[in-house]
């Protein structure tokens, strides 16, 4: 199994929640009530995102220096 390393952008919102996104996966974002929860949720979102790409025959994104 290959390992794909992706950069996650985290931001604490004004209401105290945390937003998370993966810039190299357009539209892949999530949030959580804590930093840890946001990281767990974005991991799940990325897995679904990548599974959908593979199922659609699009393959995995190529690594980049973001």
pLDDT at 26: 93
Residue 65 has pLDDT above 60, yes or no: no
Q: How many CA atoms lie within 13 A of 48 on its CB side?
A: 10
pTM for the complete prediction? 0.85
pLDDT band at 1 (very low <50, low <70, confident <90, very high): low
In sequence order, the 6+-apart residues with CB closer than 8 A to the CB of 53 are 59, 60, 61
pLDDT in tens, 5-57: 899 999 999 999 999 999 999 999 999 999 999 999 999 999 999 999 999 99
Measured at the CA of 31, the angle between CA 22 and CA 21, to 5 degrees, comes to 10
């Amino acid at each position: 199994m290959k390992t794909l390393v992706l950069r996650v952008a985290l931001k604490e919102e004004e209401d105290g929640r945390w937003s998370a996104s993966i810039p190299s996966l357009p539209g892949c974002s999530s949030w959580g009530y804590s930093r840890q929860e946001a990281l767990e949720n974005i991991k799940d979102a990325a897995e679904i995102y990548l599974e959908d790409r593979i199922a659609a025959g699009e393959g995995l994104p190529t690594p980049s220096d973001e």
